[in-house]
Structure 1
């Protein structure tokens, strides 16, 4: 079984945001993935929607045996398990969330499907908080 490197961004702006991110990281690890590197925590204002809740964000590099779609399904299952009710793609917009896990890159792959686009263009090129977290990762 081959291993792949993926860069993920995790964020939370509900409840104990830092604890939510730490819990999600543990669930990623428990799913058979190796956490290779974790950025420092960064707080940021919500992007592309209005909320008074501040985000806690991190970037991580993982080693995984999962394909891009399997990885997407896995991280979405963590979001649901942790209580995230609506996915921004399904709901058509951004809202407050207990946890958000985005796949930013995967082995340098360029991939596009209805559910997943790699690399994640907004995180790589448009969002200031992402640029700060990813500066040493990509």
Structure 2
């Protein structure tokens, strides 16, 4: 079983946001190895209106899971933690207890109905994502 380096982005804008992120990271660490974490960053909601600001973090993990297995696993974590809507299905962004996005999976380019790797919005469009990803790279040297 080969290991893959994957970049995840986690965010929360409900309840104790840092605790939500840390809980999700603990659950991820049960199956994958967390190699590195960025700093926490707060940001305004993107692509929807809310009075709740987000707390976000980026992480590099090592996993033997395939992209779809990893997606299934992080979606399971989101549901276990109380997330009730999935924006990839509903096409509507809402407040969320936890959001876990697969940003990069090694150098893989992959597209399906449920998943697109790399996650281009996080890599090129969303300012908070670019800051977190740069922090990961900067602290990786």
Runs of 4+ in 1 over 2 A off after TM superposition: none
TM-score by length of 1: 0.97
Q: Does residue 1:9 correspond to 2:34, yes or no?
A: no
Q: Which residue of 2 aligns with 1:46?
A: 45
State the alpha-carbon separation in 2 of the partners of residues 7 and 89 from structure 1: 19
Q: Which runs of 5+ in 2 are unaligned?
A: none
Matching of residues 2-81 of structure 1 within 5 Å = 2-30=2-30, 32-81=31-80
Cα offsets for 1:33-52 (capped at 9, x unmatched): 10000000000000000000
Residue 137 of structure 1 deviates from its aligned partner by: 3.8
TM-score by length of 2: 0.95
State the alpha-carbon separation in 1 of the partners of residues 135 and 54 from structure 2: 21
Give SS of 2:84's match: coil
Residue 127 of structure 1 deviates from its aligned partner by: 0.3
Q: Which residue of 2 aligns with 1:109?
A: 108
Number of equivalences: 137
